[in-house]
Structure 1
């Protein structure tokens, strides 16, 4: 190796070393900022706690926390449900794990490490036990990745736990749940919190079924190959007799799904249709009978366009999936929209139903509180101006709110006014103003300026009358 190459390699190594040092220092500064954010969130949670009114209703007792979460969420443009979880997590970290917070502030551990430490010991109610746990686990957090720390933290927490594992498991069973987390590209994650034995049993059962599906497919192909050995004689007989084998000569379709794909398809089939082979259409939705709302451009529905459809509460889905679902729909809504503003002007249906509700379902798509994505079939239809105070039951005074934000509107100091074109103007308890524009005002607006060219207000030479 010549001297120039050695110099270049040395320069590159030195530059990389400096960059790594810079990244380490940056992460340390981020830890300090995250620790500060935790303290601020915990203080906000304390404001909500001090605003609580003694009540026998758990829902009413939670309203101040919901209102504070909505205030912060609107300001940061994130879901208030997510903010409420962050407030709870921040309170837990700052009040029960001071050494972990200090390590985060000093940059000795990351936010991911802090989350692992807290999650593994959330059941430790005894202060001395938590202190012993932190003293034991933080040195590991300073040298191990957050992923490796998980098992270590669980073991260390178990060693100091005053209550037994069966007792804690009994309490944890009460937190069982299933939820949907939307991800990109028309997909979502179905997350279930189950007892470990049940969860692993479900996974094992799906794996066994997936292997059975593969064996059945392999057996079918093997039988087809065996029967094809006699095919020449049969084809000769067919030719002499003038008969045709037709479609029977076609080989069976090959199933190229991976084990993960098979497990996912089997889970959906069994839950939606109690049938492990319900995935018999290209979209994999032959058994879907759940309640969903999709909006499909007319040309896409007719197969003449590729513009994506919109799944209420999620966003765009591919045209093929949308057409497959439309083929099984008991009825459709036809929507007429303004060519410039995109606002819904009229809705009709081949199977008639209540006009206003249909129009508002199409207009709103989801809860109309700032940042909320709960689909309309999970929402209440609310009078923006209360009917008891003279509000009319018309499209311009109605909007969909999920139960959480419906309660927030009526039982806290959040206020809403409906403006023209279905725009909702929300005013928070601190006086901040947020506007929520209907999805349809954006979704149905044409992409170019073709429609705007016909707008008289844009005519550079209007008629002289």
Structure 2
């Protein structure tokens, strides 16, 4: 009796995963090619070193790459669903790959080098001169599948030493002091991370020990770690030893709403804080400014061109960030733009003012980017290409229908 031969059938779910992954890789290459085709139509011979408030030619790749029209590049970034910075970064890597790394570009087209890895390589070679980039391109051409990022960094450093020794930077000073104001606990606490020199660290340790001891002498019964944290804040305010007469240098603004008696919102970090935390802050040595919540639906209008502080605060609290598609720059670091220009009759009011960062303010002023406010905090943008976007508190939404996908055979 013949033995049965076992046959193994491929897992259909995994086969589908592999198929979709291959399709994704092809789509990434097609997108990269389309971006480079677009770049060919939007290069300029203008001097990128020209200083002007208007449009500035953008040298995004390394030496030898084409220079791109600035405001058209903003259009590209928005079309890709990216912030301006992310879009310019993508375009710069694409130009570097296509114009200075021809062997690696061929590997991308052949499917031997993933787009994400090619972008990482291109980003590392931008600071090299032309012959340095060519050196890296030639060395990597046969090993793109196996190269690690550590090996890549060593190769770029070698190319820099060979072809631009004057640009080799001294060893990096890794000292830092980082305060994470983006993640705040409900009790109003944030994390701090620092790397100090030994002498600075010893002095800081002595100051924290002294401050913690003084707090104990003053009747503070908190644990040692808490007292050290308080002492660090006292040092930041120049209150070591504690000096109740020293004026605070930076006010902390908290908004309270009559319908939310248990919670407030810290304007500095845009995070909720408990009323008990606010009481603690008020009892400490920080200047705490408590304000009622502004009615953001209220219409505010002034006759002057310049917006007074109360109007600026209204706009900043309503929009929070620059209102250009995909931009996240905080509104308090932006210009206030008259949507309809003031010299054309546009009022200085809540329904005609919006925060734009300086970069996107220039684009609106000196190119064919236009927008209008459809509701408070909601904006309809039209790019020079004709593509349109809605920008609101949910982010940026393309309003143009996507191109129809070809029907499957």
1:149 aligns with 2:107: no
Residues 256 and 292 of structure 2 are in contact (CA less than 8 Å); yes or no, is this contact kept in structure 1?
A: no
CA offset digits 1:155-195 (Å, max 9, x no partner): 54246x3221x34549x99xxxx99999667799999xxxx
In structure 2, how many angstroms separate the alpha carbons of the residues matched to 1:189 and 1:139?
A: 45
Q: 1:269 to 1:56 in 2, by over 3 A?
A: farther
Deviation at residue 404 of structure 1 after TM alignment: 1.4
Residues 116 and 149 of structure 1 are in contact (CA less than 8 Å); yes or no, is this contact kept in structure 2?
A: no
For 1:126, the equivalent position in structure 2 comes to 130
In structure 1, how many angstroms separate the alpha carbons of the residues matched to 2:377 and 2:208?
A: 54
Deviation at residue 411 of structure 1 after TM alignment: 0.4
Identify which of 230, 236, 255 aligns with 2:225.
Answer: 255
In structure 2, how many angstroms separate the alpha carbons of the residues matched to 1:414 and 1:298?
A: 41
1:289 aligns with 2:259: no
Q: 1:40 to 1:179 in 2, by over 3 A?
A: farther
Where does structure 1 lack aligned partners over 5 or more consecutive residues? 1-6, 192-201, 224-245, 279-285, 348-352, 440-465
Q: 1:185 to 1:332 in 2, by over 3 A?
A: closer
Deviation at residue 367 of structure 1 after TM alignment: 1.8
SS at match of 1:430: coil
Q: 1:419 to 1:335 in 2, by over 3 A?
A: same
Bigger drift between 83-92 and 327-336 goes to 327-336
1:335 aligns with 2:293: yes
CA offset digits 1:63-121 (Å, max 9, x no partner): 77442233233334331222122222211121111222232343433345324432443
Residues 338 and 352 of structure 2 are in contact (CA less than 8 Å); yes or no, is this contact kept in structure 1?
A: yes
Residues 137 and 153 of structure 1 are in contact (CA less than 8 Å); yes or no, is this contact kept in structure 2?
A: no
SS at match of 1:124: coil
Q: 1:322 to 1:94 in 2, by over 3 A?
A: farther
For 2:315, the equivalent position in structure 1 comes to 360
Identify which of 36, 42, 45 aligns with 2:36.
Answer: 42
Deviation at residue 410 of structure 1 after TM alignment: 1.0
For 2:351, the equivalent position in structure 1 comes to 396
Deviation at residue 143 of structure 1 after TM alignment: 1.8
Identify which of 405, 410, 420 aligns with 2:360.
Answer: 405
Deviation at residue 318 of structure 1 after TM alignment: 5.0
- Please show how residues 96-111 of structure 1 align to structure 2 within 5 Å: 96-111=100-115
1:381 aligns with 2:336: yes
In structure 1, how many angstroms separate the alpha carbons of the residues matched to 2:72 and 2:332?
A: 26
- Please show how residues 135-214 of structure 1 align to structure 2 within 5 Å: 135-146=138-149, 148-158=150-160, 161-164=162-165, 166-169=166-169, 203-205=195-197, 209-210=200-201
Structure having the higher helix fraction is 1
Identify which of 72, 76, 79 aligns with 1:75.
Answer: 79
Q: 1:71 to 1:210 in 2, by over 3 A?
A: same
Deviation at residue 391 of structure 1 after TM alignment: 1.6
Deviation at residue 219 of structure 1 after TM alignment: 10
Residues 384 and 416 of structure 1 are in contact (CA less than 8 Å); yes or no, is this contact kept in structure 2?
A: yes
- Please show how residues 237-316 of structure 1 align to structure 2 within 5 Å: 253-255=223-225, 289=250, 295=255, 297-298=257-258, 304-306=261-263, 309=265, 311=267, 316=271
Q: 1:130 to 1:143 in 2, by over 3 A?
A: same
CA offset digits 1:26-75 (Å, max 9, x no partner): 66654443333333223333333249699943553427744223323333
For 2:405, the equivalent position in structure 1 comes to none
Residues 35 and 101 of structure 1 are in contact (CA less than 8 Å); yes or no, is this contact kept in structure 2?
A: no
Q: 1:427 to 1:130 in 2, by over 3 A?
A: closer
TM-score by length of 1: 0.58
Residues 77 and 371 of structure 1 are in contact (CA less than 8 Å); yes or no, is this contact kept in structure 2?
A: yes
SS at match of 1:417: strand
In structure 2, how many angstroms separate the alpha carbons of the residues matched to 1:113 and 1:55?
A: 31
For 1:87, the equivalent position in structure 2 comes to 91
CA offset digits 1:347-383 (Å, max 9, x no partner): 9xxxxx7543343233232222222222222122221
Residues 374 and 380 of structure 2 are in contact (CA less than 8 Å); yes or no, is this contact kept in structure 1?
A: yes
CA offset digits 1:224-258 (Å, max 9, x no partner): xxxxxxxxxxxxxxxxxxxxxx989997723399x
TM-score by length of 2: 0.64
